[in-house]
Amino acid sequence: MTAFAHRAERVQPSAIREFLALAGDPRITSFAGGYPDPTLFPIEELHKIYDELLSAANASALQYAASDGLPELRALVAARLTADGMPCVADDVLITQGGQQGLDLSAKLFIDAGDVIVTERPTFLGALIAFNPCEPDYRSVPMDEEGLDTDALEEVLRTTDRVKLIYVVPDYQNPTGRTMSLPRRRRLVELAEEHDVVIIEDTPYRELRYEGERLPTIKSLDTTGRVIHLGSFSKILAPGLRLGWALATPEIREKLALLKLGADTQNGTLNMRAAAAYLSGFDIEQHIAGMLPTYRHKRDLMLATMAEHFPPGITWTRAQGGLFTWVTFPQRLDVAAFQRDVLIPRSGVIVVPGTPFFSERPEANHARMSFSGVPDERLVAGVRAMGDLLREVLA
Ligand code: PMP
């Protein structure tokens, strides 16, 4: 007998793991991963930095460090957040193990079994994986081209007890690529205040902006300290460093830091030192600006190829930033079954079926497709092959 805790019932393998394992196969064209393009990592700069750090004079880079993060890295992050309209100092920032840890710690801090988390519909499936062990109930709120539908949110807040958190990805959301408009951001903050709910604002794609205005963060509109702002170096530097941050009021930040102490003691000192050296010795804004044309080109190529080769009756989002488009097929198409029975065997293309992105009442006729990480020719060939097969099965 295995006497797992009750929460273990909510810890289940994700249906997408099995086919993500295929992504490493050279015969597979994967639009599934949300991986940044590895050719864009600043490898030479990081090589130089790590070389210097791994010397006797820098032995402290291999030592334990403060659990809330290296002070100089916290200060450098605080300076970037301040420049982005969220005035803060080093002490306000907690360094986390990627943005993902901010999700895990926030749920641990606020959610008892049966408390309600409101998510966008669809939402980032990794957030659900982080939240599930806390045994929440979920309500999901539809989105449109302006992001979260705040009228629908108002209705959910009015009619649902025990709502503790609202989780949103306002900039170039994963999986839809959508951006929440400024009026909706304002309304979201108002509603959270009215109903005394905490907002988690998750922003790993914020800086991958290919067009449109940079909108104020939800945190910057917050006057009552109820927004936990999460960010990440994964898409702007490298995900393997596992570095992110949380900005919150001192009361919340302190509790998150204590939870982090129990979870993993601290982020790796070496990586924190390297990130701090990178931010102080190189121009990360220039590095980010240098990546944007590549991603913009990939997005345009994928969307144009879909427009040319997908049969009628299929729609998709046009992301102004980030890495994803969300594709909606006729209701009768179950994307997971199509992928398993037709798409993978006959074209070697994989996408992420949409079902796991729904916190409740999943819909089977969507897919998330990432435009990063596949060379142009393969991208075009893969989308074309997918279009041909769709034409066949939908005929
Ligand atoms: N939030 C969102 C919306 C994401 O898409 C991801 C991963 N791509 C994360 C958080 C976590 O990323 P990381 O832990 O690498 O910062």
Angle subtended by helix axes 376-394 and 284-309, to nearest 10: 30
| Domain containing residue 326: CATH number | 3.90.1150.10
Is residue 276 domain-shared with residue 368, that is, in the same domain?
no
Query: Mutate which of 106, 120, 234, 241 to test ligand 1's pocket (most atoms within 8 Å of Cβ)?
Result: 234
Q: In the structure encoding, which two tokens stand for residue 262, read together?
A: 């129990």
| Domain containing residue 200: CATH number | 3.40.640.10
Q: 23: which residues sit within 8 A by CB, 6+ positions away? A: 30, 32, 33, 350
163-168/116-121 β-pairing: parallel
234 close to ligand 1 (CB < 6 Angstrom)? yes
Number of domains making up the chain: 2
Compute the distance from residue 44 Cα to the ligand 1 centre, in Å: 25
Please, are residues 223 and 190 in contact by the beta-carbon 8 Å criterion?
no
pLDDT of amino acid 312? 96
pTM listed for this prediction: 0.97
pLDDT of amino acid 2? 80
Q: In the structure encoding, which two tokens stand for residue 296, read together?
A: 């913009």
pLDDT of amino acid 394? 96
Distance set, CA 324 to CA 32, 56, 184, 240 (Å): 9, 44, 21, 20
Which residue's alpha carbon is at the smallest distance from atom 8 of ligand 1?
34
Distance set, CA 41 to CA 26, 137, 239, 240, 299 (Å): 21, 39, 10, 10, 19
Q: Which of 224, 246, 281 is the last residue of a domain?
A: 281
- Per the DSSP assignment, residues forming a β-bridge with 168 are 201
Is residue 66 domain-shared with residue 193, that is, in the same domain?
yes
Spans of the chain below 70 pLDDT: 1, 15-16, 19
Closest CA to 270 of 298, 242, 235: 242
Closest CA to 279 of 38, 45, 35: 45
177 close to ligand 1 (CB < 6 Angstrom)? no
Domain that holds residue 167: 43-281
Compute the distance from residue 345 Cα to the ligand 1 centre, in Å: 30
pLDDT of amino acid 55? 93
Helix-, strand-, coil-residue percentages of the chain, each rounded to 5: 50, 15, 35
Is residue 204 domain-shared with residue 296, that is, in the same domain?
no
Is residue 156 domain-shared with residue 37, that is, in the same domain?
no
Distance set, CA 287 to CA 80, 97, 393 (Å): 14, 22, 44
Q: What residue type is 94 in one-letter code?
A: L
Residue 67 lies in a domain: yes
Please, are residues 316 and 325 in contact by the beta-carbon 8 Å criterion?
yes
pLDDT of amino acid 256? 98
204 close to ligand 1 (CB < 6 Angstrom)? yes
pLDDT of amino acid 22? 78
Is residue 112 domain-shared with residue 163, that is, in the same domain?
yes
Query: Mutate which of 97, 124, 237 to test ligand 1's pocket (most atoms within 8 Å of Cβ)?
Result: 124
Compute the distance from residue 100 Cα to the ligand 1 centre, in Å: 6
Q: Which of 281, 312, 341 is the last residue of a domain?
A: 281
Alpha-carbon distance of 127 to 338, in angstroms, equals: 26
143 three-class SS: strand
Is residue 82 domain-shared with residue 210, that is, in the same domain?
yes
Determine phi and psi for 178, rounding to 5 degrees: -75, 155
Query: From the alpha carbon of 100, which atom of ligand 1 is closest?
Result: 14
pLDDT of amino acid 324? 98
136 close to ligand 1 (CB < 6 Angstrom)? no
pLDDT of amino acid 24? 77
Query: From the alpha carbon of 101, which atom of ligand 1 is closest?
Result: 14
The 10 Å Cβ neighbour count of residue 252 is 21
Kindly report, residue by residue over 189-239, the tens digit of the pLDDT. 999 999 999 999 999 999 999 999 999 999 999 999 999 999 999 999 999
Is residue 171 domain-shared with residue 121, that is, in the same domain?
yes
97 close to ligand 1 (CB < 6 Angstrom)? no
pLDDT of amino acid 13? 82
- Per the DSSP assignment, residues forming a β-bridge with 144 are 147
Is residue 270 domain-shared with residue 304, that is, in the same domain?
no
Q: Which of 264, 281, 298 is the last residue of a domain?
A: 281
Compute the distance from residue 188 Cα to the ligand 1 centre, in Å: 22
Is residue 222 domain-shared with residue 131, that is, in the same domain?
yes
Computed over its alpha carbons, how large is the radius of gyration of the chain?
21
169 close to ligand 1 (CB < 6 Angstrom)? yes
pLDDT of amino acid 15? 66
Phi-psi label, residue 5: left if phi above 0, alpha if psi -120 to 50, beta otherwise: beta
34 close to ligand 1 (CB < 6 Angstrom)? yes
Is residue 101 domain-shared with residue 227, that is, in the same domain?
yes
Is residue 240 domain-shared with residue 302, that is, in the same domain?
no
How long is the chain?
395
